[in-house]
Amino acid sequence: VVQTDGQLKTGRDLAIAALMGAEQFGFGTTVLVTLGCVMMRKCHLN
């Protein structure tokens, strides 16, 4: 299984990763920012 993660920000990035053989994709930062995260790295202090 080939996994890819990091810097997947657009559909083009995802398509390129798939064409290069990736079978699993990880989306972290992009999803957090979409949900309203401002990346202050203080979420664990609640």
What pLDDT does residue 46 have?
Answer: 63
Structure tokens at 4: 């890819």
Summarised one tens digit per residue, pLDDT across range 2-34 is 888 878 878 899 899 999 999 998 877 777 788
Nearest-angstrom CA–CA distance, 19 and 30: 21
- What is residue 15's predicted lDDT score, i.e. its pLDDT? 93
Question: Within 13 Å and on the Cβ side, how many CA atoms surround 17?
Answer: 19
Beta strands in the chain (DSSP E): 3-5, 24-26
Give the pLDDT score at 20.
93
